[in-house]
Structure 1
Amino acid sequence: MIFTALVGFQSWAQHGSGTTTPLVTIVPQLQLEELKDFQSSTIKLNADLEELNQRKSNVLDKMQHLREKTNTEGANTMVQRLLSLMETLKVLEKQESNFQSYCNAKCSGLQAEVDELEETLFGDNDGENISTNFSHSWHTSIERLNAAKKDIATKLRAIVMLKRQLGDVPSQPELIQYERRFSELYAQIQGKLRQTRKCYATFNALLEIKDMMLKETSLLNSISAQFQDAITSPAGRLKLIDSMEGILKGVQQKAERVQFSQEAEQNVSDALKTKYAAALSEQRRFNSLLKTFQMYQLNLQRCKETTVLIVNDMWFDCESEADST
């Protein structure tokens, strides 16, 4: 480019003017001007480059300072929380835009229906066509209403079925109430059973006493009837004595059996008393252990509440420090 300009300038200097200027003096002047312009542009570009490098270093220093501040002050969790909240905000904004578009589309559809109805009402002057359109719209609306009623009835049946299924499953308070009621019924049944056994034992004892009294009465009647005949003859007296000895032996055997049964019942009673004493001691030990367990549980609950309060205070302090920074 410089060479072309020099050639053109030389031809102009030789033919276009009356005086000729030497080419040796013109070329260095142009080169000096070009060099000066190039040097000035180079200096300006270097200054701009240094300014950009300085800005870049400042920005990098600020970013490094912010990262160090974030890491040192423990605000990393707050930054993560802020990022998650920003993402949630974006999602909500997207949902809002989708809902807005849906509402606009719905509004447009309803407006179109309104316009169509207005056109039907005011644009058509034929009464028969209007009544036909209204009848068609009426039947369509009735069909839609019936379909909606059927759908609602189906859903209600499903809901009622689910409620029945849920009602068949007892809840925790109902189970506790059932258990308490069963315990009360069991206690009543045991009381009735003990009372029935006692009544049966009393009845058997009275029946046995009745049998013994009947035997004694019959024995006394037989002795009274045979005493006068037996006392008059020696054979009768011997027979009476033998019968009395037999009766005495039977009474002694009966007394021995009663004594044996009484001893057996006494042994059973002693064993039951021993078991009852052991059960009472176990109950006392269980009550003491239950009381100790309840105390430990209460202390543990208090410790948990204290720990939760301390953690909440620490979290509140951390949040307040993060907000202040």
Structure 2
Amino acid sequence: MEEQQQKKIDELMEKMDAFEADQSKVSGARVGDILNFQSSELMQVVQMHQEEHEKIRAQLEEVMSAEDFSELQHKRQMEKRAQKMAKLQERMEEIAEEYTTTKEELEEVFTALEKHKNLNQRIVEEIDRLNALETPENSADLKTLKALVSLNESLKQQEKDFRQSCQKERKRLQELLANDKLTAEDEEELQRIEMIEQTYKDDCERLNQMRSLNAKKTRDIVMVKRKIDEIPSRTESTQYQQALLDLYEQVDAKLNETRQYYSTYNTLSNTLEFWHSEVQLMESISGNYKTAMKNDKTKEMFVKQLEEKLTIVEGNIKKANDKLMNEKTTLDEVKRKYGALLEKERAYYKATKDFQEECALNERLQEE
């Protein structure tokens, strides 16, 4: 019994839902039919629908209690609202996806716009710079350069358009070939386009090879220029020569000063040794004199010792004199060599001066 009652309630609810759906959804054709009705007929239709709705409602109230009916109505309203919320949520997600996609596209557009602005700004600055460099002397060259640049851009655009047209024509002919609809003229056109593309590829390969050779030649030229720049000029060579001469003079002066210090030190050391020897000799004579004078034998021995020491001193004096003469001879030889070197130096400076004068004369003659 309860199952039959529940089945009846479900059937009535379905009828009520269908009735409300019919009321909420009115097609354009139905609106036209309604407008064609007379007002009395329209009122009859409305009244008939209301009676049908009331009849279904009364049947539900008979089957169900008032509380169950209110609960059922509330449940139906909640389900409708839940469906509506789900549809709104789906629509909201679709709108969010559309917003994200639109935002990304807008960001890409803004990025491209910013790049174009920067490029335009650089172009404007470069144009201003070129205009600033324009003078009456180079105005003709700048006009020629501008014309060549315009011609280059035009040729690039023509090449791009020609390639696009060839690609479109090739695609069309390939489609016709796939559909077996090629005519003799189309086949000739396709062969001509393929020949043009092959020629273009060959020319591109030759162009790349020429660019590679040009880059290699440019590197070689840069390397040679760098090596040429590393070679000092005449002015730099003169400066280096003068710097080396100044350094040599400083080193030579320092060397002479050091030699003088060593010579003075050696001379004073030898003089000190001689003075020590003389002092020791005088002390020895003074200490042995009283003992030696006591008898004739010791006196004779003392005299012999003095004679031996005198002989040794005379030998040392002779050696010192021989060394002095050798040093004087060496000094004279060094002075002679120094004089010869001075003569060579004067001849070198004179030859250098004559060479510089001849170089200057050669440059003047070349300029004339």
Which of the five TM-score ranges fits, normalised by the shorter chain?
0.3 to 0.5
What is the TM-score normalised by the length of structure 2?
0.37
What is the TM-score normalised by the length of structure 1?
0.41
Q: Which has the higher contact order (CA 8 A, sep 6+)?
A: 1
